[in-house]
Amino acid sequence: MNNLIKRIGVLITSVFLILSITSVSSFAEKTILFSIKGPGSGNPFWASVEKGAKDEAKKLGVKLVLIAPPQEGDVQAQINQVEDQIAKGVDAIALAPGDPNAFGPIVDDAIKSGVPVVFVDTQGINKGVTFIGTNNKNGAELAAKFICDKTAKGSDVAILTGVESQSTALLRRDGAIKGFKDCGLNLVATQTAEWDTAKARSVTESILVKNPNIKAIFGSNDNMALGAIQALKDAGMKGVTVVGFDATPDAAKSILAGDMTATIAQFSYNMGAYGVKYALALANGEKIDANIDTGTQLVTTKNANDFK
């Protein structure tokens, strides 16, 4: 009888030990794939997203596979990277899709195979997938309102948009258009510069030739706003309000130097951290909200030091 009790005790202890090891092991072995649509080395915004993701992964003790295409807008390279990593096996995906339509079938297939997905920064087309990021339309309206408050009614203004296959670019464009229309400014140009500083400089030069009386420019990201500032300097034009979006360190320094007028802060570090956090939650069978807003804030000379 005593031997039987001892055997049962050993068996129970063994079961608990196995369950404990399995539980710890399964958590430690979780692999989160985080795919962003541009390299951090070329854009302070993505560098901040990367840092947030890496810090959170370290804190949670999960394996992070962080990938980006060689350059922003290289959708096919991003697709190839994601498909390759899914084939290797991941537990969840945080995805900033370069082209939401192109990624639609890939996301559907991942979810059907049991790999949950969250969208970061850019909303995808797949129903029921959580979006983590900025309310881009509201942020752009905030930028437009700031410009309206500083610019005489009826003045000429322009918008530089990002890659127009991306919802981020379209929402910021539409928010700015609505804001300008509501306050009676004259929108003379809406042109893409594909998030790029050099392209924005060139595009702005062309806009200025046709619209020499322009009073304000909204750059849908800070890179483009900085390019617009260079074009204005080249043309010898002063007193033009330029507002960006992202609140990168370069933008904050430009504001403090008196060049850029303002920018809209979105909290890119949080996007990275939340992407890992909530992708892991889904991998562990938890439920999360459909929309996780990381917020926006107007940045001027009053608070630019906080973003350097």
**Confidence band for 28, pLDDT divided at 50, 70 and 90:** low
Per the domain annotation, does 13 fall within a domain? no
**Domain contains 244:** yes
Residues 180 and 173 sit within 8 Å (Cβ to Cβ)? no
Same structural domain, 226 and 251: yes
Residue 1 falls inside a structural domain: no
Decide if 146 is inside a domain. yes
Is residue 9 situated within a structural domain?
Answer: no
Counted domains in the chain: 2
In the three-class reduction of DSSP (H, G, I as helix; E, B as strand; rest coil), residue 260 is classed as coil
Give yes or no: residues 245 and 274 share one domain. Answer: no
* pLDDT tens digits, one per residue of 111-166: 999 999 999 999 999 999 999 999 999 999 999 999 999 999 999 999 999 998 88
CA distance 106 to 249: 35
Q: Do residues 252 and 176 share a domain? A: yes
Host domain of residue 216? 136-266
**Distance, CA of 166 to CA of 279 (rounded, Å):** 22
Share of the chain above pLDDT 90, in %: 85
SS3 category, 90: coil
Closest C-alpha among 299, 290, 191 to residue 253: 299
Task: Please check whether residues 59 and 154 belong to one and the same domain.
Answer: no
Q: Considering the domain boundaries, does residue 97 fall inside one?
A: yes
User: Which stretch of 34-43, 221-230, 265-274 has the lowest confidence by average pLDDT?
Assistant: 34-43
Same domain, 146 and 167: yes
Asked if residue 2 belongs to a domain, the reply is no
Backbone angles phi and psi of 90, in degrees to 5: -135, 160
Whether residue 260 sits in one domain with residue 158: yes
Q: What is the pTM of this model?
A: 0.76
Helix axes 249-256, 222-234, angle to 10 degrees: 40
Report phi then psi at 96, rounded to 5.
-105, 95
- Are 178 and 230 found together in one domain? yes
| Better pLDDT: 127 or 17 | 127
Instruction: Name the average pLDDT for the chain.
Output: 91
126 and 201 assigned to the same domain:
no
Task: Say if residue 41 is in the same domain as residue 160.
Answer: no
Q: What is the pLDDT of residue 193?
A: 98
Q: Is the pLDDT reported for residue 20 higher than 50?
A: no
CA-CA distance, 7 to 9, in Å (whole number)? Answer: 5
Average pLDDT over residues 61-71: 96
**DSSP for 120-172, written as a single string:** ESS--S-TT--EEE--HHHHHHHHHHHHHHHS-TT-EEEEEE--TTSHHHHHH
Q: Is pLDDT of 181 > 80?
A: yes
Domain identity same for 212 and 243 = yes
**Same domain (yes/no): 128, 140:** no
Q: Are residues 81 and 147 in the same domain?
A: no
* 154-168: pLDDT as tens digits: 999 999 999 988 889
Residue 85 — pLDDT band, cuts 50, 70, 90? very high
CATH number at residue 108: 3.40.50.2300
Q: Indicate whether 124 belongs to any domain.
A: yes
